[in-house]
Amino acid sequence: MSGREEEETTTAIETHGLTKRYGSHTAVDDLSLSVAEGEIYGFLGPNGAGKSTTIDLLMDYARPTDGTISVLEMRPRADVVDVHQRVGILPDGFTVYENRTGRDHLRLVIDTKRADDDPEGLLERVGLADAIDDDAGSYSRGMCQRLGLAMALVGDPDLLVLDEPFSGLDPHGIRTIREVAHEENDRGATVFFSSHVLGQVELVCDRIGILHEGQLVAEGTLEELRASAPVATDLDLVVDGDAERARRVAAAVDGVVGASVPSAANAATSSESGLVGTADGQTVSVRLESADRQEAVLEAVENSGVSIRRTDVTEPSIESLFVAHTDEPAIESAGER
């Protein structure tokens, strides 16, 4: 060791053995979770996985059956006022006061937190400036979600908790959520959001936790989850010369689970990149156990005397990672919303 001890990472959220039972039903099961200050953490899982229950426990909206919780190094039950002062939350199923304006909603939170935020500025930030003095009862579902996000931003929270934030939003609203999450993180806030919208998770998060039936079944960066899951990476090689020789050589490389030379007839379905049967050469499609076997395949093919013009890599989608870690059907992707 160098003489200087490694600094200990400060956590924004930490749980140990967190459990919540409702009668015979276990909503959260022995959950040990650690979210470092300053990261964007995605809590991924289908509806009913226990995501919202976990957030309720973190905010002391519900009390755990067992286990411990730390939020910003405070105990939610004992330090609930201080926790709520430093945390901004957009809860799942957020509802509005129908006879109050957007401005009124912001003023309520600003006064509660004794902050000095400007309601106009916050609503402008989430795209609701034009509706600031309209009764929230006239808002669409997506507008209510934007209003809830603006309320969560009051007081420059140290921790921003977003529970299913993409619910009811159009593509512009979804982009606003992503932008706000990155802006708040750049400011220094930790962002923790739960979602079943798969496609958005990989666009926003530093790390991902997959919750299944109340248990954390996988956790890590997207690259780490791809490396740990039994899902394949597809590698297409456009080659000059003997494509069949390239296929045989590639198939013999350790870590290759399959190799083929698709015919031009099925080019449209066998290669999304449209490489098969191009004027540039013939495509060899190779399936790898993991992405780190790419270089070995390229080296083996080129050493066989077959020239490679270009390559195209398709890594496992987050949908396939979810299926691999849970044995459940893939949950909703962003493109389906």
pLDDT digits (tens, 9 = 90+) for 23-45: 999 999 999 999 999 999 999 88
Give the max Cα distance, the chain.
75
CA–CA distance, 128 with 106 (Å, rounded to integer): 12
Tokens encoding 166:
């993409």
Tokens encoding 51:
């995501």
The pLDDT confidence band at residue 117, using thresholds 50, 70 and 90, is very high
Flag whether pLDDT at 276 surpasses 80.
no
Nearest to 26 by CA among 77, 65, 58, 59: 65
Nearest to 43 by CA among 300, 189, 226, 218: 218
Q: Is the domain covering 232-315 a CATH 3.40.50.2300 domain? A: no
Res 269: pLDDT: 39
User: CATH number of 11-227: 1.10.240.10, 3.30.930.10, 3.20.20.70, 3.40.50.300?
Assistant: 3.40.50.300
- Three-class secondary structure of residue 19 per DSSP: strand
Least confident of 35-44, 53-62, 192-201, 216-225: 192-201
CA-angle at 183, arms to 181 and 186, nearest 5°: 110
* Alpha carbon separation from 123 to 196, 314, 316 (Å, rounded): 26, 40, 38
CA–centroid distance for 279 within its chain: 39
CA–CA distance, 286 with 42 (Å, rounded to integer): 31
What is the percent of the chain with per-residue pLDDT over 70, rounded to a whole number? Answer: 86
- Decide if 309 contacts 279 (C-beta within 8 A): no
Domain ranges of the chain: 11-227, 232-315
* Alpha carbon separation from 183 to 8, 30, 118, 119, 230 (Å, rounded): 25, 33, 17, 18, 35
Flag whether pLDDT at 280 surpasses 70.
no
Least confident of 31-40, 189-198, 218-227: 218-227
pTM of the predicted protein model = 0.74
Nearest to 334 by CA among 204, 218, 210: 204
Tokens encoding 102:
């957007």
Greater pLDDT, 195 or 97: 97
- The residue length of the chain stands at 337
Flag whether pLDDT at 265 surpasses 60.
no
Burial classification of residue 202, based on how many CB atoms lie within 10 Å of its CB (0-12 exposed, 13-18 middle, 19 or more buried): middle
